[in-house]
Amino acid sequence: MFRDNLKDLIEYKDLRTKELSVLTGINKRTLDSYLDSRAIIPNAEIAVKLAHALDTTVEFLVTGTSSTNPEQHIYEDFEIYRKYKNITLELESLPPELLKPITAMIHTAAEELKA
């Protein structure tokens, strides 16, 4: 779970591992060990550095939830991002002539729900 939360937050923040390394002072290879299939979990000091750099809590990195953060709306936005991440990637791969009517349909449906 830590690995997936860390990966998703890095992606959500539009960072590269190298950039996170610079922000935290954690060696890039060490960061890679938290993100690869070995899924090593860092010690508390490193987890705090990662949480701080990613504007989150250690609790969120470990569990995917945060009961102590008053900025809960940030996590709600992240959950929406996580929920629709694959759809967004698929939409990005569509040619403009297909994307345009799909976008219009989504906007129309959203407007109808507001009314």
One domain for residues 49 and 99: no
Q: Count the domains in the chain.
A: 2
SS3 17: helix
SS3 107: helix
pLDDT in tens, 26-82: 999 999 999 988 878 899 999 999 999 998 889 889 888 766 555 555 667 777 887
One domain for residues 60 and 108: no
Cα–Cα distances in Å, from 22 out to 30, 54, 57, 99? 12, 12, 19, 37
Question: Based on the number of CB atoms within 10 Å of its own CB, is 57 exposed (0-12), middle (13-18) or buried (19 or more)?
Answer: buried
Mean pLDDT of the chain: 86
One domain for residues 85 and 61: no
The per-residue pLDDT for 82 is 79
* Structural domain that includes position 102: 70-115
One domain for residues 88 and 36: no
The per-residue pLDDT for 114 is 84
Please check the confidence at residue 95 and state whether its pLDDT lies above 70: yes
Residue 8 sits in a domain whose CATH number is 1.10.260.40
For residues 49 and 32, what is the distance between their CA atoms, to the nearest angstrom?
15
The per-residue pLDDT for 74 is 60
